[in-house]
């Protein structure tokens, strides 16, 4: 879309990312992340900015396994929704995923129609082979636990849909 640029996030974007997502965290749409966690994950983030350099959207790609990644923390600024920001960021995250060699993208979301239009489907009971499952169980990351549908993250997954896209 015109007027919007999607680019890798910089450390100077992190407080803006926190401010953009904090109302969504309060509404329990997105999981809250400490500022230090956002800094640690800055290389995973892409941001969209308008012609004035104002942050208008954000999204992250987290690698979970050789072929598997997760789309995280995707959000458009409230006054920019429905103008293509979300799609532009998701397109970029998918391109990044392909470049990394991933072939499956997971997401946990209330926005099933938006992700559905991007080719994501309800993953139902789709999982990974038992050897990989056992390896993934060693992770302390909540997103990995959500992918595995573990009891310890049920409070995060309630009402959400676990979706997958084969790239
Ligand atoms: C894994 C996770 O992160 S789950 C969490 C997902 N995030 C949230 O729920 C946070 C709150 N929601 C949001 O921030 C946003 O609504 C998002 C991220 C879900 C979607 O972002 P948006 O920028 O609003 O979406 P976007 O505008 O790209 O697409 C929505 C619709 O807007 C319209 N649209 C798209 N591009 C344009 C455009 N250039 N001009 C006008 N309208 C447009 C279309 O109708 C589009 O529908 P389509 O999907 O059939 O193409």
Residue 135 confidence (pLDDT): 94
Residue 124 confidence (pLDDT): 87
Mean of per-residue pLDDT scores for the chain: 94
Question: pTM for the complete prediction?
Answer: 0.93
Ligand 1: residue whose CA is nearest its atom 36: 84
Q: C-alpha dihedral over 155, 158, 74, 64, to 10 degrees?
A: 70
Q: Are 58 and 128 in contact (CB under 8 A)?
A: no
pLDDT score of 107 more than 80: yes
Residue 156 confidence (pLDDT): 82
- ipTM greater than 0.85, yes or no? yes
State the pLDDT confidence band at 154, using cuts at 50, 70 and 90: confident
Please state, in angstroms and rounded to a whole number, the distance separating the CA atoms of residues 50 and 54: 5
3-state secondary structure of 159: coil
Q: Say how many Å lie between the CA of residue 37 and the centre of ligand 1.
A: 25
Least confident of 96-100, 153-157, 162-166: 153-157
Q: Say how many Å lie between the CA of residue 76 and the centre of ligand 1.
A: 7
Two structure tokens written together for 97: 């995923």
pLDDT score of 2 more than 70: no
Please state, in angstroms and rounded to a whole number, the distance separating the CA atoms of residues 67 and 72: 17
Residue 157 confidence (pLDDT): 83
Task: State mean pLDDT over 104-119.
Answer: 96
State the closest ligand 1 atom to the C-alpha of 113, by its place in the atom list counted from 1: 49
Tell me the helices (H) and strands (E) count for the chain, helix number first: 7, 7
């Amino acid at each position: 879309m015109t007027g919007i640029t999607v680019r890798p996030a910089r450390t100077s974007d992190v407080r803006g990312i926190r401010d953009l997502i904090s109302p969504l965290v309060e509404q329990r749409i997105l999981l809250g992340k400490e500022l230090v966690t956002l800094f640690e994950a800055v290389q995973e983030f892409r941001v969209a900015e308008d012609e004035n350099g104002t942050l208008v959207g954000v999204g992250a790609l987290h690698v979970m396994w050789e072929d598997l990644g997760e789309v995280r923390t995707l959000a458009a600024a409230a006054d920019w929704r429905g103008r293509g920001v979300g799609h532009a960021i998701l397109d970029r995250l998918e391109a990044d995923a392909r470049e990394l060699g991933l072939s499956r993208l997971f997401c946990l979301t209330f926005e099933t129609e938006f992700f559905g239009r991007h080719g994501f489907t309800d993953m139902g009971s789709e999982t990974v082979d038992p050897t990989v499952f056992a390896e993934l169980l060693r992770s302390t990351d909540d997103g990995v636990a959500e992918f595995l549908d573990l009891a310890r993250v049920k409070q995060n997954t309630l009402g959400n849909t676990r979706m997958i896209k084969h790239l």
